[in-house]
Amino acid sequence: MKIYTKTGDAGTTGLIGGTRVPKNHIRIESYGSLDELNSYLGLVRDQDINQHHKSTLIKVQEKLFVIGAVLATDPNKEILKNGKKRLNISKVSTKDIDFLEQEIDLMNETLPPMTHFVLPGGHQTVSFCHIARCVCRRSERLIVALHQIESLDPNILTYLNRLSDYLFVLARKLTYDLQADEIKWIPEKE
């Protein structure tokens, strides 16, 4: 497969189905942001964290590829002429959302109760996780904007919302596991 096709040299890119759109189209921004998130999750996974978290992150990364493929498909060309769906892949399901919720609950069982917002940081691994959380929130905002233009599967929106929650709790769990300082944000009184 040739990496460079030169078809995007004029600032457009092709969706699955052949439709060409500008590279700054909200659909492209949406799955581009997911790609960035996926890269940060790879960075978190490459840190010295336990195998369970690494396995969970791989599942999440795979699901982000699914969401990216859905977003990269022209919704008007999703169904082929023979009536079959263009993408023959498992979409985001309530099972995927439940999985994230179970992971959040498992981690929360071992953490002290949260009484304040916490400042991102304390350890490089934790900081990478917070960056991933922020990119996840941006992705979610972009996909919500796309959803307002073209209806998307609501499970995608729920999954990304839950994923940012997961990443926040993972950052707290990594802070705890790495014995890093969790600095609470306590606003100064006037």
Q: Write the pLDDT tens digit of every residue in 76-120.
A: 777 777 777 767 778 999 999 999 999 999 999 999 988 888 989
Which one has a higher pLDDT value, 183 or 121? 121
Q: Is the pLDDT of residue 20 over 90?
A: no
Q: Name the CATH code of domain 23-111+140-179 (choices 1.10.260.40, 1.10.10.10, 2.60.200.20, 1.20.1200.10).
A: 1.20.1200.10
The pLDDT tens digits of the residues spanning 35-49 come to 999 999 999 999 999
> Residue 34 corresponds to which tokens in the numbers above?
């997911």
Which one has a higher pLDDT value, 38 or 190? 38
Q: What is the rounded CA–CA span in Å between residue 36 and residue 142? A: 13
Compute the CA torsion angle 159, 161, 162, 165 (nearest 10 deg): 150
What is the pLDDT at residue 145? 97
Q: In the chain, what are the domain boundaries?
A: 23-111+140-179
Residue with tokens 């997911």: 34
> What is the reported pTM?
0.90
Contact (CB, 8 A) for 60 and 41: yes
